[in-house]
Every structure is written in C-alpha cells, then in structure tokens.
Amino acid sequence: MDNGQVKNIVIVGGGTAGWMSAAALSKLMPKGQGPEGQGNVTLVESKEIGTVGVGEATIPQIATFNERLGIKEDDFIRETQATFKLGIEFVDWAKKGDRYFHPFGTHGFDLEGIEFHHYWNKLREQGDDRSIEDYSINAVAAYNDKFIRPQSEHGPIINKLGYAFHFDAILYAKFLRKFSEGHGAKRIEGKVEKVNLHSDNGFIESIALADGQVIEGDLFIDCTGFRGLLIEEALQTGYMDWSAYLPVDSAVAVPCEKIEEPIPYTRSTACEAGWQWRIPLQHRTGNGYVYCSQYQSKEAAEKTLLSNLDSKALASPKHLRFKTGRRKKFWSKNCVAIGLSAGFMEPLESTSIHLIQSGISKLIALFPDKSMNPVERDEYNRLLDVGYAHIRDFLILHYTLTERDDSAFWNYVRTMQIPDSLKRKMALIESRGRFFKYDDELFNVTSWMAVAIGQGYTPRGYNPMVDGLSEENITQSLSNIRTAINKAVKAMPSQQAFIDRFCRAQDVYTAVGENI
C-alpha cells in the first residue's frame, strides 16, 4: 500500500555534489522494512562525462557535515590528502603590495558585551598602529605555520581557533562513494538520454539511459553541474545572471609538485583580470586562475598561471567556463538542484562545497512526501535564495573595495553598481563599524571586518559604549590578549608535525587534474 512516502531517490550526477547528497541521504533517511520501506538511494553517473570538483578549499561548516555522518576527522584527512585551513590570505587586492588575512576564528574577545573591533578601532584612532590580525589566533598561527585541534582543556584562547580543510575533491568524492555504498546507496553507470515527465503534473517520472535502462523515482536530485540536465533542460526553471556583479567567467587550473611543508591557509593573489589561488595539500599544491574573459584571453590566462607556479606542473592546464548566478528555483516540482546545477558564484571564499552542504541540510529539514507540498518547496527556495544573496554580497565586497586602477578589469569592479543590500551593510560598517547578521547569513562580523579593514575600509568611528572603559583598561586588555595569543601559538606544534602524528596520508597520490 502506498502511504505517500518518498521511497526512491534518484541522484543524477556524481562528483562532490552527487556523493555528498548520496552520503547524507543514505545515512540519515529511515530505511523502513520490506519493499515498501523508505531510503532507496540510486546515483547515476557516467565515466564519459567528466566531473568538476567544486573546491579544494572549504570553510569550517564542512566539519559539521562530516560529524553528522559519523565520519572520523582523521580518517577523512588521510583519505583525501587534506591539510588544515585557518583562513585566507589576500595579496594585492586593495592595491599592489598589500596583503591581509581573513581568519576563521575571531578577532580578540568581546569586552563588556561590545564587539572587539570597536576597542581596537578606538586605540587605532589614538595612534596605535597594531594590525587587527595581531589579535587573531588564526592569523598568528597561520603565519607561523602552526596548528592544533582545539580541545576543551586548551582554554579560551586556543578554543577561538576555527579551522577548515584543503582537500582533494576527487578523493573526497571517492571517499563518500565508499561511505554511501556502505549505507545502501546504489550506483548505476550510464548516460542519461531522456528525462520523462508526467503528463498530468509535469513531475519527473523517470530517466532513460543510453543502454535502455529506465529508472523511476519519487524525488530527483540534479547534480549534473552547470548544464542542469533536470532542473533546467527538462523543467526549464530559468537562471538568474549575476555576472554584472561578479564578472569572472573562466578559470584555468593545474596542480604542481609539493616542494615545502604545506602552509595552513589558502592564498588568493589578485592578477590582471581576476585572481589566482594557491592551495597546499599533503601530496601536491593546487593552483588556479579565475578571470574574466572579456579582459583576458584563454592563452594569456594560462601563461599567467604557469608563470606563477612554485614548482613543476603535474598535468596539463584544465580550462573551465561558467556564468555566475543561480537558478530561479532550486527546487522545482519533484527535483532539487544541488551543487553547480543550483548555481555558482566563483570560489573566492570557498563557498561552493558549503552551498552543497546547505542545500542538502535544508532538504533534509524540509523533506517531502510524494505530493511535494508547495509550502515546503517554497520555504526551501526562500532559504536558499537568501543564502545565495548574502554570499554574493560578501564576494562583491572584495571587488568593490579595491583601489586598483591598473587594468580594465579592476577599473570595472571598482566602479560597478552594487546591490542595495550591500550598500546598507557598507554604510553601517563605514560609519561606526556596525554589523548585523541577516536571517541565516553565513559570514559573521569577523569576516566582514577582516575584508573591510584589510582593504582600507576602516570604520570612521566606533560604538560610543566603548568609552565606558578607560583608555588604560582597554590598552591593558588588548595587551593581555596579544600576549596570550603569542604564548599559545608558540606552544603549538607545526601543522606538518600535527599531521604526521595524527592524520598523515598513507600513500602519495599524484594528481592528473585539478578541482575548482
């Protein structure tokens, strides 16, 4: 008897998005009993169709995803050749010769309920020229190549250390495939030839493969990348183009040999028509150049990337084109788009894998029955809409704050129109360093202040409540924070020593491609 429950989930497309979806759904869905039970997860992918790894660098929320699935962190690190990431260093973004650090921890400690940066800014106005990074254990540890995993016994300073990972996205997909199949997910090799829709309601009824197989499902997850085979080609959902705000539309990537111990942070270096990433893994270094094709040719971009490598390239450069933006609906009828099929906003702040994770977690929270209740579907779309917009604005902030005028690209992004939502945030920051998180906003006050201050957009004033503490008290408190951070970092092991002790990969894996 059909009780209306979703029994068959079909994921079309593998890669990071497909196997993260399969891992979560196969692990967390109730399995039921007998042929009428829930929890049948089938993933269809073709070896003929290459996958685009959506990122080798992540943000701290990825640990929550792995933990929820019961994946042990050290196992994950070993299997994916991972290293730790304490933040991102931005080079030449405000102007050539500048650099700043966006930490995953916090700046200092709030005092008397007032955010730390207000106290720092008061002393700055009175002539103290210390960088706000001096009050970030993440920044100090990163620049000293140190790392330790925070534990309750470490005390308040080290427990401010937030971290994420650099990992090989292809190895992560393989790791999750093994995990998913261990929890009952089924993989089918095949290329989709046709998507069959119900004649009455337009829902996806089945997919037909090139070998003649027809796979029916109640809920379909589109992980087919930029193409959007289900969400766009079959259901014609539409796309919201954000390239006017985020004009980079191309990338070229290549791995190179590891020649030194990996540093615990990502580096983003501004170039003529975009920016270059450097991501250190246990076995190699990932490199790529994200650029706007309107301002630089494919050949020139490749030459720029190859000329900036630390060591010998391990493969031929891999090129990719994309359009920044998102689907007008992430969930349409009985299809949910996850990953690149849902949208893409460039990898500047390593948000691509987080958006996969966010889409999966919200689907689980709003998991439907076969009727695909519009109330649940609309709320899913609203939440993802808000989440994408907040990330979009944070990415635009990096570009609009530049002072660079040395190329047509930087002149464009420096003078382009920006969304009203970003204008409001920037006005609050500029006046007295005010910041408020809206809805389920991803990036917090530390992130916004790191970028704003790092690129010279330092608030003109501070919260007057700061004046409730004497200048002497503030000065001593900040001195104590600096001393405690430096002492804690000095006692930490190097990142390499920590990896060697707890989570060193067993085999050296030589990459043949690169992930974006």
Q: What does the pLDDT read at residue 29?
A: 84
**What's the mean pLDDT in 74-89?**
98
Q: Give whole-number Cα distances, 23 to 163, 191, 390, in Å.
A: 23, 21, 27
This prediction's pTM: 0.95
Report how far residue 18's alpha carbon sits from residue 205's, in angstroms, rounded to the nearest whole number. 20
The arithmetic mean of pLDDT across residues 355-384, rounded, is 97
Q: Which entry of 85, 329, 333, 362 is annotated as an active-site residue? A: 85
Q: What is the pLDDT of residue 175?
A: 97
Contact 107, 162 (CB under 8 A): no
Q: Where are the beta strands (DSSP E) in 198-258?
A: 204-209, 214-216, 219-222, 239-241, 250-257
What is the predicted pLDDT for the residue at 293? 98
Residue 32 has pLDDT above 60, yes or no: no
Name the average pLDDT for the chain: 94
pLDDT at 513: 39
Q: Is 76 helix (H, G, I), strand (E, B) or coil?
A: helix
Strand bridging mode 335-337 / 219-222:
parallel
**Looking at residue 152, what is its pLDDT?**
81
* pLDDT of residue 510 exceeding 70: no
Predicted local distance difference test score (pLDDT) of residue 50: 64
The per-residue pLDDT for range 434-491, each reduced to its tens digit, is: 999 988 899 999 999 999 999 999 999 999 999 999 999 999 999 999 999 999 999 9
Confidence of residue 516 (pLDDT cuts 50, 70, 90): very low
- Kindly tell me if the per-residue pLDDT of 274 is higher than 60: yes
Compute φ and ψ for 318, nearest 5 degrees: -115, 125
Domains of the chain, start order: 8-56+168-242+325-372 (3.50.50.60), 85-162+250-321+389-510 (3.50.50.60)
**Which H or E run includes 354?**
helix 352-365
% of the chain surpassing 90 pLDDT: 91
Average pLDDT over residues 388-404: 98
Which one-letter DSSP state was computed for residue 234?
I
Task: Kindly indicate the confidence band of residue 54, based on its pLDDT and cuts at 50, 70 and 90.
Answer: very low
pLDDT above 90 (res 33): no
Distance separating alpha carbons of residues 105 and 158, to the nearest angstrom: 10
- Residue 362: the pLDDT is 98
CA distances from 129 to 66, 206, 363, 390, 465 (A): 41, 64, 47, 32, 22
For residue 151, what pLDDT band results from cuts at 50, 70 and 90? confident
As given in the structure block, the two tokens for residue 159 are 């427990």
Q: Tally Cβ neighbours within 10 Å of residue 150.
A: 16
In angstroms, what CA-CA distances link 368 with 22, 87, 88, 218, 376?
17, 37, 38, 10, 7
Closest CA relative to residue 512, chosen from 353, 316, 375, 376 = 316
Decide if pLDDT at 48 tops 90.
no
For the chain, the straight-line distance linking the first and the last C-alpha, in angstroms and rounded, comes to 46
CA–CA distance, 115 with 435 (Å, rounded to integer)? 10
Query: In the prediction, which pLDDT does 154 show?
Result: 83
pLDDT confidence bin for 55, thresholds 50/70/90 = low
Phi-psi domain of 261 (left: phi exceeds 0; alpha: psi -120 through 50; beta: other): beta
Query: Is 31 considered catalytic here?
Result: no
Q: Convert the pLDDT of each residue in 418-450 to its tens digit.
A: 999 999 999 999 999 999 998 889 999 999 999
Q: Do residues 105 and 161 make contact, with C-beta atoms less than 8 angstroms apart?
A: yes
Q: What is the pLDDT of residue 316?
A: 95
Q: What is the pLDDT of residues 190-242, one digit of tens each?
A: 999 999 999 999 999 999 999 999 999 999 999 999 999 999 999 999 999 99
- Rounded to a whole number of angstroms, the CA Rg of the chain reads 24
**CA atoms of 103 and 99, how far apart (whole Å):** 13
User: Distance between CA 453 and CA 136 in Å, rounded?
Assistant: 14
Tell whether the torsion through CA atoms of 80, 86, 91 and 97 is positive or negative: negative
Distance CA 12, CA 34 (A): 25
What pLDDT score was predicted for residue 34? 42
Q: For residue 288, what pLDDT band results from cuts at 50, 70 and 90?
A: very high
How many contiguous H segments (helices) and E segments (strands) does the chain have?
A: 14, 21
